[in-house]
């Protein structure tokens, strides 16, 4: 099991200058980095890969950033933009050595409406239709697309592991897998350990975050139960700290971080990693 850190906590948008954090991440004891790419044109993935290699780190995943103009259930233009974006992320993941493209690939984050059942079914069919060629491309490139359920305040589309599993079944591609996040599960799942077990072998990516978006372990989440569940399903993917502070303003606004949750982002990273290595050993 590798332990990673998401770049959202320290830099956004991700550029070549952002690679200066890699040596620090290595010094803190991380094995890997999850790179959140907003503008694929802003980086040369080969150059970023060289910086990862220099620091002795791997890229465990590429994380997407899905705004209103990237929406697989949106307008035809938004769908086309999202397909092109995800295709590029898959191609960049190959160069970066990342096995996974992760996140809420199905929709723009923040889109939440009380949709009529008929409209919701049509949106579902649209997402399935869009994901099929993307998954085919991912399979051809040796990359998996991991779908992340978000909480009800961030999406009305996929909130639970059950919904992700239904989507995977409808798309019917071996390249489509499950991505779970302890923050979102804390809101939406009755029992996080049970959700992990339900995902089973389809769970290929995992975010560790405090119940308040803070430090893993400095919260009320049942981490021992989560550890047991990950062991039960023989999870061997990356465990990535994806927490937020007010330091990166655009991400703080998007994630509704209105106050100082932890003393510092360094503490989130270092204390969170120490806790996760202990509880998941």
Determine if the peptide bond prior to 13 is cis (ω within 30°).
yes
Say whether 148 is catalytic.
yes
The catalytic position among 144, 188, 242, 262 is 242
Of 148, 154, 189, 262, the active-site residue reads: 148
225 is catalytic: no
Catalytic residues: 148, 242
């Amino acid at each position: 099991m590798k332990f990673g850190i998401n770049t959202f906590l320290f830099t956004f948008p991700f550029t070549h200058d952002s690679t200066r954090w890699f040596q620090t991440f290595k010094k803190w004891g991380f094995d890997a980095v999850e790179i959140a790419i907003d503008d694929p044109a802003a980086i040369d993935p080969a150059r970023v890969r060289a910086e990862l290699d220099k620091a002795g780190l791997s890229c465990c995943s590429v994380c997407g950033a899905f705004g209103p103009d990237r929406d697989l259930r949106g307008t035809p233009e938004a769908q086309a933009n999202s397909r092109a974006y995800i295709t590029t992320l898959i191609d960049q993941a190959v160069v970066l050595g990342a096995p996974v493209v992760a996140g809420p690939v199905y929709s723009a984050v923040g889109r939440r409406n009380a949709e009529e059942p008929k409209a919701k079914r049509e949106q579902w069919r649209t997402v399935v239709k869009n994901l099929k060629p993307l998954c085919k491309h991912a399979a051809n490139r040796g990359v998996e697309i991991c779908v992340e359920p978000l909480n009800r305040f961030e999406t009305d589309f996929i909130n639970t592991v059950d919904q992700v599993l239904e989507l995977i079944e409808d798309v019917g591609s071996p390249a489509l897998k499950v991505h779970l996040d302890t923050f979102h599960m804390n809101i939406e799942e009755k029992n996080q350990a049970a959700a992990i077990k339900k995902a089973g072998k389809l769970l290929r990516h995992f975010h560790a975050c405090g119940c308040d978006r803070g430090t893993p372990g400095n919260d009320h989440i049942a981490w021992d139960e989560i550890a047991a569940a990950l062991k039960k399903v023989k999870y061997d993917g990356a465990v990535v700290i994806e927490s937020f502070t007010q330091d990166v303003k655009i991400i703080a606004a998007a994630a509704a971080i209105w106050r100082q949750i932890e003393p510092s982002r360094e503490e989130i990273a270092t204390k969170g990693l120490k806790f996760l290595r202990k509880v998941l050993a």
